[in-house]
Amino acid sequence: MSDNAKKTNEQNNGTKSQSFLAAIFDWANTVAFAIIVVLLILTFVFKQVTVNGPSMNDTLQNGDRLIVTDFMYEPHNGDIIVASHGKEYNEPIIKRIIATSGQSISVDYDTGDVCVDGVIIDEKYIKGKTIKLSDPIKFPVTIPEGYVFVMGDNREDSIDSRTNVIGMIPVQNIIGKAIFRVYPFNNMGQI
């Protein structure tokens, strides 16, 4: 092989090595960028919480892991939310929104009926009868601006807005709406 052919062959091998290293570098940059994007989304858009206690039975069980988001979230009746409630609990609470700002709510403890704006709401998701809790709020009540009224689905074993211990939840304390159950795997799915 001539000297020129050897130099050309060496240059081609060097170029191939550089191309291979450049491809690996581009691939590593793409993977690193994807990981950063996923971490940012999980940090700022979605959060994972674990259900603690029986207050949302049978809809949610103790130990269920949920994905919640507050991205462009506006509270609506029926939403399952996670809210901080630092004055009584160190951990966030998980409840269902029953009424929002401006709505009037009343509870008939004899029948267990819950009325929002004078209409009995259809609550196929509840477990047990809606009972009177200790230190109850006085009904009927209109939800003030910037607050929501929440209750657990397990009405006989839930400390919620029916009592002054929890009271109404400021909208600013809502961590997010529960949108997906990720664990247990046999119950994985949209909430």
Name the one residue in this structure whose structure tokens are 């951990």: 91
One of 7, 95, 104, 138 is an active-site residue; which one?
95
Q: Would you list the DSSP string of 150-187? A: EE-SBTTS--STTBTTT-PEEGGGEEEEEEEEEESGGG
- Residue bearing tokens 């009868």: 129
104 is catalytic: no
> Could you tell me which residues are beta bridge partners of residue 67?
48, 180
| Active-site annotation holds for 95 | yes
| Catalytic residue chosen out of the listed positions 19, 55, 84, 132 | 55
**How far is the C-alpha of 59 from the C-alpha of 80, rounded, in Å?**
10
Residues forming the active site? 55, 95
